[in-house]
Chains A and B, each alone.
Chain A
Amino acid sequence: MARDPKYDILFEPIQLGPKTMKNRFYQIPHCNGFGSEKPLSQAYFRAMKAEGGYGACCTEYCSISPESDDTHRVSARLWDDEDVKNLSVMCEMLHEHGALAAAELWYGGPHAPCMESRSVPRGPSQIPSDFEYLTYAKEMDKDDIREVQQLYVDAAIRAREAGFDIVYVYGSHSYLPQQFLTPYYNKRTDEYGGSFENRARFWRETIEQVREAVGDDTAIAVRMSCDMFMGDAGTQLERDCLPFVELCDEIVDVWDINVSGISEWGEDATPSRFYPSGRLLPWQEAVKKVAKKPVLGVGRFTSPDLMVDAINSGKLDIIATCRPSISDPFLPKKIDEGRLDDIRECIGCNICISRWEIGGPPVICTQNATAGEEYRRGWHPEKFDTAENADNDVLVVGAGPAGMECAMILGKRGMRRVHLVEVADDMGGIMRWIPQLPGLGEWARVVNYRKIQIDKLRNVEFIPGTTLDANGVKEYGAEIVVIATGGYWVGDGLNGCTHDTIPGADASQPWCLTPEQIMRDGKDVPGARVVVIDNDGYFMGVSLAEKLASEGKKVTLMTHLGHIAPYMHFTLEAPNQHRKLHKLGVDIVTSHMPSRIEQGAVVATHVFDEDGHEQTWEADAVVLVTQRRSNEALYRELKDSVGFDTLRGEGITACYRIGDCEAPRLIADCVFSGHRLAREIDSENPEVPKPFIRERRVIERELAAV
């Protein structure tokens, strides 16, 4: 199908200094866990987006020196010629697809813990990092300033040598140039501190020097945060950023505009829980009004109409995407080909970002199971080989995230017939009710995308409202059976803290409830006082606390952990979730574990209290968010009662289980589980994942010689 002409502007070329970008789709710098040391994973990951139509793709933050070493987190590095070689693969592959390559030159200052290099970072003032514990910088004197600026110049030259078309002098997220600009970090009294001119001096000089070194044939990009949301101490749009744009517009080829500092960068990489697409547009528009150079920026754009509107209304020249490009590397191509309902829209869950925050594992994506798997597993998000056993019929039992993904990929792999059988009257499983939790509406995209795809696949049939027992599965007539019956929140308080049930916990009582009972079954939460017990640590406990508090309950949220929902720190949802719960008056009790529950009360002790003093919280209702278990009854019946041998006698050659039904996990991992099985349905043993390529140095020698 042809592109709708109303989207033509997105496909117009644009000049970035000496370089021409073929369209307006720009993959902003973002991490993936590969850096310079998994160079092929890095190259294949970025190149997939170029293949999908992106006009330019960036590295993640790219360290210019061992004294800006972010280990435990993974950045790219351009420390030496070996790094040049490694990152040159990415540049080459991007160029093959006609995309520009950009390196985001990064110096972290006090935020860089240097855990691998054991170097000492330099910074404008000696105040420990607000992001990384126990990390101090050496306060820079004039010689330090010259030396660090030279590090930028040397890295820019290496970037050009590697093949990069665009080099950044990166400030946003509170890194060194922006630290100089910001009173919060810059307490200097010399000509690099104090007045705007002085605070801007380091950044401007560095841009000048980099431009002098490589600017004749390399575009210079500056990424700047226009509001740190910390009042006078932080960078401010009117006071600092607009004057900086005017000061440096001549020596910059493209402005990359965002907001926030590093310690609350969820204000920039906004979770859908709190912000819709385009949340940064007011700041981007303000810069666009004063800049003569192109302005680009993120906004978690997935809708081409919003993209066009951002350009036509003079807010942006180039649409930068981070998370939507992970969720669907082929976003530009699908818009170009008029295939809007094939776009796998980002849900804004930030599970991708959580991996960087954790410090190192490869990127994952709830929507796109192939993200990060391009090289190591050879998965392409849009291409599917016909399975060698495609003449088989497959029965998938359960249409939650894992079952839907598995049936969809099996359909795309050309299996003769795939029947996706579901107890409920529609697809989605847990994703029918999780998006009804406060703020999680966009998460329903997990279901919507797959529903549309499955509907298009002639070899996949969705069969709702049908319960199959083991005999039903046996008689169904499939050669391959996949059990994806999901999991459930336990009703007896079994938990990962005490590894035991909680005495008195019993969700068959009217005053004791599980998440499904509240969200799916509509069980009434009695009374005014509710205690939510959260031993899970992710979104479920806090979401239910928020929901019930918004409905007027007096909610106590109790966890054995030191913080509520610690995983939401990694997804950048924590700060605003704390604010919400605080505003709603939710009483937060950390480091407490219930010793027993009775009607009307939860009795708990502090987890570090060796004497076990008990304290009582009155409660008309108790919500148990203690742990999940697999719905494995059907699988156990098939394996243990009927037996796989009997199934083989019925022509069922294989029976697998995926997702929560095997073990409860993240939604992203459920989708991955279904995808992985479908990708490997014709492997020697589909139950066991095929080995993936591990990029590592292997020592070639005779073992006997050790």
Chain B
Amino acid sequence: MKIVVCVKQVAVLGDEVEFTDDARDVDPDFLDASLNEWDSYATEEALRIRENAGSDGDEIVVVSVGDGDVEPAMRRCLAMGADRATRIDHSGSRDPITIARLLAPVVNAESPDLVFCGVQSSDAVQAATGTALAELLDLARVAVVTRIELDTGARRATVHRELEGGLVDVTEVDTPALLTIQTGINQPRYATLRAIKQAEQEPIQVVAAGEEGEPAYRVRRMFAPPKGEGAELLDGSAADIARRIAGIVQERLK
């Protein structure tokens, strides 16, 4: 069995934010980087499936899109226990449709049994890459997965999806399939210093990006929203404040 995990190195905001001169992006000086939180759960889930239901020859392949700077996130997945990593060399548009287009041929060439993506990335929060990739690969797609019971013999998985309001949708899907993995599905393992060091020595396969096509959107401007006005601070005892709030809410509901 082979599982491909598509991961992203996300940007992490510090205390302060400034934008680039063209106001289309955050100045990279104000950003840190890390492995997207959802992708660490996806990687962990792949590792657990291999540990619990796997057999010899199973392989977990990490794929990411970006320049050499995104490799630390991929190496974090290798340190957790992924077998190998492929980076699709790209430094242009990062919209999810473009990323899915670049991922599709590389993932397809792996002929995986399962493809995992995180539900979303913590920096862009589009939650679109996984779904777009499933469409391009013509794979069945299950989103926001919180539990996977895999029947390898029957090439079928029973999957729990998280819905609004705490509802759970239990669904069956034939593999190969693409699942977008929700946080909380497991507790991602930590990599020891030894594993981190070993992962640093492992080669990362770099492949040229294919045709990226037209981006799905273009960033026109980024800016901090103007400060709102009219905030009112309530003073007094908890009971006074509660009464005032109740009054304000009743007033606004009219």
Is residue A461 within 8 Å, beta carbon to beta carbon, of the partner chain?
yes
Stretch at the interface among A351-359, A381-389, A475-483, A659-667: A475-483
Complex interface: chain B residues within 8 A of A475 (CB): 192, 194
Asked if B193 contacts A419 (CB within 8 A), the reply is yes
Give chain B interface residues in 6-57, CB to chain A under 8 Å: 14-16, 32
Asked if A417 contacts B192 (CB within 8 A), the reply is no
Please pick, from A1, A419, A463, A465, the residue contacting B15 in the complex, using a CB distance under 8 A: A1
Asked if B16 contacts A477 (CB within 8 A), the reply is no
Is residue A458 within 8 Å, beta carbon to beta carbon, of the partner chain?
yes
With known contacts A1-B15, A1-B16, A458-B32, A393–B190 Cβ distance under 8 A: no
Is residue B197 within 8 Å, beta carbon to beta carbon, of the partner chain?
yes
Closest to A394 in B: B193
Please pick, from A1, A456, A466, A478, the residue contacting B190 in the complex, using a CB distance under 8 A: A466
With known contacts A1-B16, A458-B32, A477–B193 Cβ distance under 8 A: yes
Asked if B16 contacts A417 (CB within 8 A), the reply is no
Q: In the assembly, what is the distance between CA of A417 and CA of B191, in Å?
A: 12
Which positions in B face A, CB cutoff 8 Å? Answer: 14-16, 32, 187, 190, 192-197
Give 9 closest A-B pairs by Cβ, nearest first: A477-B194, A477-B193, A463-B190, A393-B193, A476-B192, A478-B193, A477-B192, A1-B16, A476-B193
User: Interface 1/0s, chain A 107-143, versus B by CB < 8 A?
Assistant: 0000000000000000000000000000000000000
Q: In the assembly, what is the distance between CA of A475 and CA of B195, in Å?
A: 10
Q: In the assembly, what is the distance between CA of A463 and CA of B16, in Å?
A: 26
Q: In the assembly, what is the distance between CA of A417 and CA of B195, in Å?
A: 13
> How many positions in chain A have a CB within 8 Å of any CB in the partner chain?
17
Complex interface: chain A residues within 8 A of B196 (CB): 417, 477
Give chain A interface residues in 426-464, CB to chain B under 8 Å: 456, 458, 461, 463
Closest to A339 in B: B15
Closest to B190 in A: A463
Complex interface: chain B residues within 8 A of A458 (CB): 32
Closest to A417 in B: B193
Instruction: Jot down 29 A-B pairs with beta carbons below 8 A, ordered by A.
Output: A1-B15, A1-B16, A339-B15, A341-B15, A393-B193, A393-B197, A395-B193, A417-B193, A417-B196, A419-B190, A419-B192, A419-B193, A456-B14, A458-B32, A461-B190, A463-B190, A465-B187, A466-B190, A475-B192, A475-B194, A476-B192, A476-B193, A476-B194, A477-B192, A477-B193, A477-B194, A477-B195, A477-B196, A477-B197
Complex interface: chain B residues within 8 A of A456 (CB): 14
Closest chain A CB from B25 CB (angstroms): 21
Complex interface: chain B residues within 8 A of A477 (CB): 192-197
Complex interface: chain A residues within 8 A of B187 (CB): 465
Q: In the assembly, what is the distance between CA of A407 and CA of B36, in Å?
A: 24
Closest to B33 in A: A458
Closest chain B CB from A310 CB (angstroms): 16
Known: A339-B15, A341-B15. 10 other contacts (CB 8 A): A1-B15, A1-B16, A419-B192, A465-B187, A466-B190, A475-B194, A477-B192, A477-B193, A477-B196, A477-B197
Q: In the assembly, what is the distance between CA of A650 and CA of B190, in Å?
A: 21
Complex interface: chain B residues within 8 A of A339 (CB): 15
Q: In the assembly, what is the distance between CA of A395 and CA of B16, in Å?
A: 31
Q: In the assembly, what is the distance between CA of A417 and CA of B16, in Å?
A: 25
Complex interface: chain A residues within 8 A of B194 (CB): 475-477
Q: In the assembly, what is the distance between CA of A476 and CA of B193, in Å?
A: 6
Complex interface: chain A residues within 8 A of B197 (CB): 393, 477
Closest chain A CB from B130 CB (angstroms): 27
Complex interface: chain B residues within 8 A of A395 (CB): 193
Complex interface: chain B residues within 8 A of A461 (CB): 190
Closest chain B CB from A458 CB (angstroms): 6
Complex interface: chain A residues within 8 A of B15 (CB): 1, 339, 341
Closest chain A CB from B59 CB (angstroms): 24
Complex interface: chain B residues within 8 A of A393 (CB): 193, 197
Give chain A interface residues in 465-488, CB to chain B under 8 Å: 465-466, 475-478
Q: In the assembly, what is the distance between CA of A170 and CA of B78, in Å?
A: 67
Closest chain A CB from B94 CB (angstroms): 22
User: Interface 1/0s, chain A 333-368, versus B by CB < 8 A?
Assistant: 000000101000000000000000000000000000
Q: In the assembly, what is the distance between CA of A702 and CA of B89, in Å?
A: 75
Closest to A461 in B: B190
Q: In the assembly, what is the distance between CA of A417 and CA of B197, in Å?
A: 10
Closest chain A CB from B122 CB (angstroms): 15
Complex interface: chain B residues within 8 A of A417 (CB): 193, 196
Closest chain B CB from A449 CB (angstroms): 16
Complex interface: chain A residues within 8 A of B195 (CB): 477
Q: In the assembly, what is the distance between CA of A339 and CA of B14, in Å?
A: 12
Closest to B14 in A: A456
Closest chain B CB from A3 CB (angstroms): 13
Complex interface: chain A residues within 8 A of B16 (CB): 1
Q: In the assembly, what is the distance between CA of A636 and CA of B195, in Å?
A: 26
Q: In the assembly, what is the distance between CA of A672 and CA of B90, in Å?
A: 49
Closest to A458 in B: B32
Closest to B195 in A: A477
Closest to B12 in A: A458
Closest chain A CB from B33 CB (angstroms): 9
Closest to A651 in B: B194
Q: In the assembly, what is the distance between CA of A417 and CA of B32, in Å?
A: 16
Closest chain A CB from B234 CB (angstroms): 16
Complex interface: chain B residues within 8 A of A341 (CB): 15
